[in-house]
Amino acid sequence: MSKIILVAGATGNLGNKIVDELLKLQVNVKVLVRDETDEKKIQYLASKNVEICKIKEYTIEEIASVCKGVECVVSVLAGFEDTIVDAQKILVEGAIKANVPRFIPSDFCTDFTNLTYGKNRNLDFRKKFHEYLSQQPIKSTSIFNGAFMELTTGDMPLILFGKNKILCWGDKNIKMDLTSTYNVAAYTAHAALDDSTPRYLKIAGESVSCADLTDMMTQLTKSSFKIFKPGGIGLLNIIISITKFFDFSKKELYPAWQGMQYMRDMMAGRAELSKHDNERYPVVWTRLKEYINSEKKFINSEKV
Ligand SMILES: NC(=O)c1ccc[n+]([C@@H]2O[C@H](COP(=O)([O-])OP(=O)(O)OC[C@H]3O[C@@H](n4cnc5c(N)ncnc54)[C@H](OP(=O)(O)O)[C@@H]3O)[C@@H](O)[C@H]2O)c1
């Protein structure tokens, strides 16, 4: 009989892709949705070959009843402390109550294990949850993938398309890890089925420095890209503090200062991954050049 995997956060961007990858591996997939989950998103999931498990109150008991026979709970939740710490705690406790052997927390980020508290708000939530998780009688595996590669043509101001510049705050030779969401999803699906996963798995579709990016974009666009360095990490820290100070609402999950915190940690080399576990599963890794090339509108942004 094939294994049963429960995905929490399956309505989300990454969660949906993880469900697809699990289905490709012919796994029985259960998805956990809430009373307040958007009905259209539930219907979209229901069109796939999955079992929808809707719970009302998000209690340990409800989750335990959904977790019966489950081999691994994959959490792909996104949110603030009430989600990353509080809701994931309930998820873990429900899983433990139902004797689920394994849990994959919603990390899917840069390696924060060596970061100190106070440097990166969203990673602090994860650090706090990890302190709790490490005390629980369930085997856990975090997947560290650096930044999602898609952010390079989205919200992350790293490649300044149209200006032919690469924004660089620190050492231009520090490598940054980028992985496509499809690769993260495929890897996570394999990890969910693997009983022998270690506590941490580190992956990267590609590790690139600002210097590498300059060469890559020059080659791709056949026009010269240059490094744009407004200042060092110290100046970036000051800008983060000021922007954060003037963000009175603090209601956004990814405000500008949070994005800058991620970028600072990558460019300062704090989040640099020492070794990668890419080879552990048969994933076809998307290279950055290939990804950017597939997004032609960006390449043609200026004087090609
Ligand atoms: N490395 C990177 O560059 C990067 C970038 C973006 C995200 N990420 C990470 O990837 C993971 C998934 O992010 P995503 O962008 O795919 O998220 P998303 O699209 O925003 O989806 C979030 C999911 O979390 C669920 N959720 C939110 N609050 C919840 C709560 N209190 N209780 C239970 N479920 C809740 C939502 O369920 P409902 O539909 O029920 O609301 C939804 O399924 C997160 O760990 C995120 O930090 C990494």
pLDDT range class, residue 300, cuts 50, 70, 90: low
Quick one: average pLDDT of 123-141?
A: 97
Quick one: average pLDDT of 123-144?
A: 97
Burial class (CB in 10 A: 0-12, 13-18, 19+), 139: middle
Nearest CA residue ID for atom 24, ligand 1: 77
The answer, yes or no, to whether residue 194 has pLDDT greater than 70, is yes
Nearest CA residue ID for atom 29, ligand 1: 83
In a domain, 304, yes or no: no
Quick one: average pLDDT of 136-145?
A: 98
Centre of ligand 1 to C-alpha 130, Å, is: 17
**Residue 79 to residue 233: CA distance in whole angstroms:** 27
**Residue 44 to residue 257: CA distance in whole angstroms:** 33
Centre of ligand 1 to C-alpha 10, Å, is: 9
Over residues 223-245, the pLDDT tens digits come to 999 999 999 999 999 999 999 88
The domain tally of the chain equals 1
pLDDT at 303: 42
**Percent of the chain residues topping a pLDDT of 70:** 96
More confident residue, 69 or 249: 69
Nearest CA residue ID for atom 37, ligand 1: 9
The answer, yes or no, to whether residue 42 has pLDDT greater than 70, is yes
CA angle centred on 104, ends 1 and 76, rounded to 5° = 105
Centre of ligand 1 to C-alpha 272, Å, is: 23
In a domain, 250, yes or no: no
The two tokens of residue 32 are 């956990």
Over residues 22-40, the pLDDT tens digits come to 999 999 999 999 999 999 9
Centre of ligand 1 to C-alpha 9, Å, is: 6
Nearest CA residue ID for atom 41, ligand 1: 37
**Residue 230 to residue 238: CA distance in whole angstroms:** 13
Centre of ligand 1 to C-alpha 99, Å, is: 25
Place of tokens 């109550």: 97
> How big is the chain by its Cα radius of gyration, in Å?
20
Measured from the Cα of 145, ligand 1's closest atom is: 1
**DSSP-derived pairing of the beta strands 142-144 and 139-140:** unpaired
In a domain, 215, yes or no: no
In a domain, 165, yes or no: no
**Residue 131 to residue 129: CA distance in whole angstroms:** 5
In a domain, 27, yes or no: yes
Quick one: average pLDDT of 128-148?
A: 97
Centre of ligand 1 to C-alpha 57, Å, is: 19
Handedness of CA 144, 112, 107, 99 (dihedral sign): positive
Ligand 1 pocket at CB < 6 A:
9, 11-15, 33-34, 37-38, 41, 76-79, 83, 87, 106, 108-109, 145, 147-148, 151
**Residue 26 to residue 59: CA distance in whole angstroms:** 29
Residue 79, domain extent? 4-148+177-205+271-284
Nearest CA residue ID for atom 47, ligand 1: 78
pLDDT at 299: 73
The answer, yes or no, to whether residue 100 has pLDDT greater than 70, is yes
In a domain, 197, yes or no: yes
Return the CATH number at 277.
Answer: 3.40.50.720
Place of tokens 């231009």: 172
The answer, yes or no, to whether residue 272 has pLDDT greater than 70, is no
In a domain, 290, yes or no: no
Pocket probe for ligand 1: among 7, 14, 17, the residue whose CB has the most ligand atoms within 8 Å is 14
Nearest CA residue ID for atom 38, ligand 1: 37
One-letter amino acid at 1 equals M
DSSP E strand stretches across 163-275? 165-167, 176-179, 200-202, 206-208, 226-228
**Residue 79 to residue 58: CA distance in whole angstroms:** 15
Quick one: average pLDDT of 259-272?
A: 81
pLDDT at 297: 73
Nearest CA-CA partner of 180 in 57, 63, 303, 289: 289
Average per-residue pLDDT in the chain? 93
Centre of ligand 1 to C-alpha 139, Å, is: 22
Centre of ligand 1 to C-alpha 83, Å, is: 9
Handedness of CA 13, 18, 24, 27 (dihedral sign): negative
In a domain, 238, yes or no: no
